[in-house]
Amino acid sequence: MPDVNHNHVDDRIEDAASAVIKAASEWSREARKRAEDIKSEAAKQILHAAEALRREIREAKVDGDALKGVDEVAGHLEKAAVFLKNNAFEGAAAKEVKQSTEDNPWRNLLIALVIGIIIGLLLRGDKK
């Protein structure tokens, strides 16, 4: 006859693992959203910098090699901004983390548990 308490503990562990995975997924979504917002803002700022370089050099009425050099730098900044804007953060590292989470849920649950205990101890502080 199976141990009822053992099954109950297994169910609670599975529920906790599911909750941790769900929370990690939500955190990951939020982190990606914030990262995308930052990336988008960085691309805008790089474009503004390129525009400002061109505007300043023309207002200074500089010509010749200096103008050509600034236009070249501004062009590289624009290319970098377009690249940044058009390329997502999703890459091999993110895929590896996702695969690791799917392959090793118990290890990840244990890591989350240890982190939770450490955070709990830190928040509790020294209450003597």
Distance CA 81, CA 64 (A): 26
Where are the chain's structural domains?
Answer: 4-91
pLDDT at residue 64 tops 50: yes
pLDDT at residue 115 tops 80: no
pTM tops 0.85: no
For residue 92, give both structure tokens.
């091999």
What pLDDT digit, counting tens, does each position of 19-50 carry? 888 888 888 888 888 888 888 888 898 888 88
pLDDT of residue 104: 75
What pLDDT digit, counting tens, does each position of 72-110 carry? 888 888 888 888 788 765 554 566 667 777 787 787 777
